[in-house]
Amino acid sequence: MSYVLQADYWLIFFLQGNGEWLTPVMKLFTWLGYPQAYMVAIAIIYWSGDRKLGLRMAIFLPVVSSLNSILKQAIHAPRPYWLTPDIRAIHVSNGFGMPSGHAQASIVWLYAAALLKKGWFWIFAVVLVMGVGLSRVYLGVHFSSQVLAGWLLGIFIAFLFMRFESRVLCWFLSLTFRKQLLLISGISLLLMVLGGIMVFVLKHWAMPGDWILNSADDMAGKDESILSSVGMSAVAGNVGGFLGVSLGALLLHRKGSFDSRGSGWTRLVRSLTGLFILIVLYKVFMIAAPGQTEAFLYSLWRFLGFFTLSFFVIFLVPLLFLRFKLPGSLKRKQR
C-alpha cells in the first residue's frame, strides 16, 4: 500500500470546499481524459489535420496507458473515497489509484505540443493537463500525489519517445513485414503477460474491508464494485488499442500514406463521415458489452473493442474515404 501524505487530504478538502459551481467544470475536464474523448480528438487530427502528429499521438497514448494499468495492479493503492467517508465521491471509479491514469494519459497533449512547437498549442496543452489533473482531485477519485506521479511518469515516457522514436522507426521500417508483425505482436503479448502477472499476484491479496465499506454507498447502483479493480480489463483494452493502431499504421504504410490535407470543406466532410462510422461502431460494441462480473469476457470485449475501433480509425476509415470517393487520397508508396 502507498503512503498518503497529509497534503493529499488537505488539497481535496480545499477544492471540494469551494462550492458546487466547480463540479460541472471539473466533470468536463475529467470527461476529456477518457478514451472516448481521446479517440475522437486524435481521429480528427489524423484524418483532417496533421496525419503524422495524429499517428504519433495514437501510438503514444495506448503505450502510456498500458504501462499505467500495469502499474496500478502492481501498486494497488486506494482511491481517496475508499479511505474515509469524509471525502465526497463526486464522481466514482473502480480501479486502483496510483498512478492516476487520467493524469498520465493527458501528457499526450504535452507530447503533441513538443512536436508542433507552437506557443498557442503549448498554452492549450498545459491548461488541459492541469485541468484534468485537478479535476481528479476535486472529484475525490485521486490524491494529489497520485496525479503528480501520473504526470511525472507520462513526461518521462514522452521524453523517451522524443529521444528515441526516430531511430526506432528507422530500424523498424528496415525490417521485413513478417518481422514487423512479430515485433508489434510480441510487444502486445509482453504487456498482456506483465499485466497478467500482476493480476495473478493480487489473487492472493485481500482488499481491506474498510475500503469496501467506505466505497459501498458511493458505488451503490453501479454494476461494479471496487473488488473488480483486480483484473485484466484495463490492460486488455489498452493493449488492444496499441495493437489496432500499430497494425493499422503498418498496413497503411504498405499501401501508401493517407493524405490529410485539403480545403476546410474537405477536412470537415472527412471528419464528420469518419466520426459517424466510429460512433456507430462504438454503439454496436456497447450493446454487446458483457457485465464486469464476467471478468474474462469483459476483458476480451475491451481488447476486441479497442483493437477494432483503433484499427478502423487508422486503416479502414481512410480506405473507406477512397472507396466511396470521399475527399482524401493515398499517396502511393515509392517502390
Q: What is the pLDDT of residues 70-103, one digit of tens each?
A: 999 999 889 898 888 888 888 887 788 899 999 9
Using omega within 30 degrees of 0 as the cis cutoff, is the peptide bond preceding 85 cis?
A: no
Range of the domain at 21: 6-332
Quick one: pLDDT at residue 315?
A: 93
Residue 17 has pLDDT above 90, yes or no: no
Q: Which residue has the higher pLDDT, 16 or 113?
A: 113
Residue 307 has pLDDT above 60, yes or no: yes
Q: Are the CB atoms for 247 and 184 separated by under 8 Å?
A: yes
Quick one: pLDDT at residue 326?
A: 67
Query: Of the candidates 277, 303, 307, 291, which has an alpha carbon nearest to the alpha carbon of residue 47?
Result: 277
Which of the four pLDDT bands, split at 50, 70 and 90, describes residue 190? very high
> Residue 96: inside a domain, yes or no?
yes
Residue 62 has pLDDT above 90, yes or no: yes
Q: Which residue has the higher pLDDT, 224 or 300?
A: 300
> Residue 1: inside a domain, yes or no?
no
Residue 335 has pLDDT above 70, yes or no: no
Mean per-residue pLDDT for 58-70?
95
Mean per-residue pLDDT for 276-299?
86
Residue 209 has pLDDT above 80, yes or no: yes
DSSP state of 333: P
> Residue 148: inside a domain, yes or no?
yes
Q: Which residue has the higher pLDDT, 127 or 211?
A: 127
Q: Which residue has the higher pLDDT, 246 or 225?
A: 246
Q: Are the CB atoms for 245 and 307 separated by under 8 Å?
A: no
Residue 165 has pLDDT above 80, yes or no: yes
Q: Does residue 212 sit in helix, strand or coil? A: helix
Mean per-residue pLDDT for 304-309?
94
Query: What is the longest distance spanned by two Cα atoms in the chain?
Result: 65
> Residue 73: inside a domain, yes or no?
yes
> What percentage of residues in the chain have a pLDDT greater than 70?
93
User: Helices 51-75 and 101-116 sit at what angle, rounded to 10 degrees?
Assistant: 150
Q: How far is residue 221's CA from residue 224's CA, in Å, rounded to a whole number?
A: 9
- Work out how many domains the chain is built from and give that number: 1
Residue 279 has pLDDT above 80, yes or no: yes
Quick one: pLDDT at residue 2?
A: 47
Q: Does residue 122 sit in helix, strand or coil? A: helix
Residue 137 has pLDDT above 60, yes or no: yes
Query: Of the candidates 228, 224, 236, which has an alpha carbon nearest to the alpha carbon of residue 302?
Result: 236
> Residue 124: inside a domain, yes or no?
yes
Mean per-residue pLDDT for 113-117?
94
Quick one: pLDDT at residue 71?
A: 94
Residues 161-169: contacts with CB within 8 Å, 24+ apart?
161/56, 161/60, 161/111, 162/111, 162/114, 162/115, 165/56
Q: Are the CB atoms for 241 and 62 separated by under 8 Å?
A: yes
The string of DSSP codes covering 24-66 is HHHHHHHHTTSHHHHHHHHHHHHHHT-HHHHHHHHHHHHHHHH
Q: Is the dihedral of CA 119, 125, 127, 129 positive or negative?
A: negative
Q: What is the mean pLDDT of the chain?
A: 88
Q: What is the pLDDT of residues 259-269, one digit of tens each?
A: 777 778 888 88
Q: What is the pLDDT of residues 140-153, one digit of tens each?
A: 899 999 999 999 99
Mean per-residue pLDDT for 37-56?
93
Residue 280 has pLDDT above 60, yes or no: yes
